[in-house]
């Protein structure tokens, strides 16, 4: 770690506590001038570090700035290897590049902003600076077929819901298959990608990409998203970004390491926003009203159309229709 990173780790471990330049210098075997220079660099990056004469330096308890040190202190799984970057083109693309360089399972990239974030079907994913967390995790499952990919997406959905519950106390829901809603607004999107072996057709690696609206953007959501998107927190939540990012990764690994591949099936059903409701099935051929009946053991959404036909959907998407009065 650099001196700046070491000092930040010290502050993160003892938020609200003052350390003199001399104390930090002795602990890290560096001069007071070196400490001052590193602290100034952190302040310029936006960290609210107080500097009080005859008292020292202190990182505010109420700060909520995403950092590698801040995330790491909440992680429970040793397999997780986290990188935090201020800005990336796309966290999925960043992890894909690492995967192709043989990065180990558990490698994760988290960013404050994506310049070219993407969602399902090649859509752009709104990823403004400072208000969200955008992360991607590399997994290298054994014996996973292409049909298992829906299980990976639904696993991520359960992990995000559990993480939001654990950190905020709120109860989110999943709109099949991969959108997380809270108080009627979308707060998170999930995109899973992977590479398959040409030899056996099995999954070589999977990338779980997750974007969360932690707060509303300072300038507000764009007009086209105003009625759709919402934040997890309505006001600053101390260490909210670090805690939420870490808990999402923790919950993902909890689900992934469960020896029962259907271990998250019932939780996924329990979090469902659509079961029992009138929905509109959206596919490449158009839109058709239906009723969402169940989620089967393959995580497919079972629907009944108005003419009585039933179908188990493994792709496409649905929107929830307004309740009839």
Q: 90 among the known binding-site residues? A: yes
Of residues 76, 203, 74, 214, the one with CA closest to residue 144: 203
- Evaluate the CA torsion angle 123, 128, 133, 138 in order and state its sign: positive
Of residues 91, 55, 66, the one with CA closest to residue 12: 66
Q: 277 among the known binding-site residues? A: no
Q: 186 among the known binding-site residues? A: yes
3-state secondary structure of 235: coil
Where are the strands (E) in 183-249, listed by range? 185-196, 203-213
Whether the CB-CB separation of 18 and 56 falls below 8 Å is answered with: yes
- Other C-beta atoms closer than 10 Å to the C-beta of 94 total 22
Joined together, the tokens standing for residue 90 give 């796309």
- Other C-beta atoms closer than 10 Å to the C-beta of 200 total 10
3-state secondary structure of 36: helix
Whether the CB-CB separation of 155 and 163 falls below 8 Å is answered with: no
Helices and strands in the chain: count of H runs, count of E runs? 8, 14
Q: 114 among the known binding-site residues? A: yes
Joined together, the tokens standing for residue 302 give 């079972």
Distance CA 299, CA 321 (A): 21
Distance CA 217, CA 192 (A): 25
Burial class (CB in 10 A: 0-12, 13-18, 19+), 81: middle
Q: Which residues are annotated as a binding site?
A: 90-92, 114, 186
Binding-site positions for biotin read 90-92, 114, 186
């Amino acid at each position: 770690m650099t001196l700046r990173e070491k000092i930040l780790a010290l502050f993160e471990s003892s938020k609200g506590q003052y350390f003199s330049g001399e104390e930090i210098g002795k602990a890290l075997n560096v001069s007071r001038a070196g400490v001052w220079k590193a602290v100034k660099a952190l302040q310029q990056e936006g960290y609210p570090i107080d500097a009080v004469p005859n008292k020292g330096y202190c990182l505010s308890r109420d700060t909520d700035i995403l950092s590698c040190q801040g995330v790491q202190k909440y992680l429970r799984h040793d397999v997780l290897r986290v990188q935090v970057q201020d800005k990336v083109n796309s966290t999925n693309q960043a992890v894909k590049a690492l995967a192709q360089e043989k990065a180990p399972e558990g490698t994760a990239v988290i960013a404050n902003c994506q310049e070219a974030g993407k969602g399902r079907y090649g859509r752009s994913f709104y990823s403004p600076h400072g208000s969200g967390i955008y992360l991607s995790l590399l997994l290298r499952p054994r014996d996973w077929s292409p049909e298992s990919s829906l299980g990976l997406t639904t696993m991520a959905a359960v992990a995000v819901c559990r993480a939001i519950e654990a950190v905020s106390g709120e109860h989110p829901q999943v709109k099949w298959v991969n959108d997380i809603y809270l108080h009627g607004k979308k707060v998170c999107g999930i995109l899973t990608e992977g590479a398959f072996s040409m030899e056996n057709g099995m999954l070589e690696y999977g990338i779980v990409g997750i974007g969360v609206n932690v707060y509303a953007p300072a300038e507000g959501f764009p007009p086209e998203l105003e009625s759709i998107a919402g934040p997890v927190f309505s006001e600053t939540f101390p260490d909210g970004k670090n805690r939420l990012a870490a808990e999402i990764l923790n919950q993902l690994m909890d689900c992934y390491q469960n020896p029962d591949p259907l271990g998250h099936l019932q939780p996924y059903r329990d979090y469902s926003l659509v079961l029992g409701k009138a929905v509109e099935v959206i596919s490449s051929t158009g839109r058709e009203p239906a009723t969402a009946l169940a989620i089967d053991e393959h995580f497919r959404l079972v629907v009944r159309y108005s003419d009585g036909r039933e179908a188990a959907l493994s792709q496409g998407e649905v929107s929830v229709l307004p309740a009839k009065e």
